[in-house]
Amino acid sequence: MALEARKRPLPEFRVKSYMFQLFKSLDYIHSNGIFHRDIKPENILIRDNLLKLADFGSCRSMYTSPPYTEYIATRWYRPPECLLTNGYYTYKMDIWAAGCVFFEALTNQPLFPGSSEMDQIAKIHYVIGTPRPCVLAKLRKR
């Protein structure tokens, strides 16, 4: 069953176990020079409390230089740098998406359910706040 197929939030002890397994999966692929680029509940499969990361069709080597493909991952799980730059992002996008999955597993609600890219940025801004000027300056370069 995919993580997204459940009807109600998961118990905290299950979320803790699943997130540990997800981060171990990400650590493994990242330490082998790959980033997934499409972490979302639909790509997290669970059976007998064993989590498996699925759908490696969007993976990319961490050793290739950006810019990468601009449109990747499902909008709700994309970090701001994917939305605000022309393909300048890193493996850290997988960590952002895992955090979004963490929230969703606990609440059964998406954290940033944007209806468009601009709405997505607005929802992120509402929760996280305004980035520091030095962060905005880096994004403007891209």
Catalytic positions are 38
Residue whose structure tokens are 């499902």: 74
Q: How many CB atoms lie within 10 A of CB 118?
A: 10
Query: Counting beta carbons within 10 angstroms of the beta carbon of residue 47, is it exposed (0 to 12), middle (13 to 18) or buried (19 or more)?
Result: exposed
Residues in the chain, overall count: 142
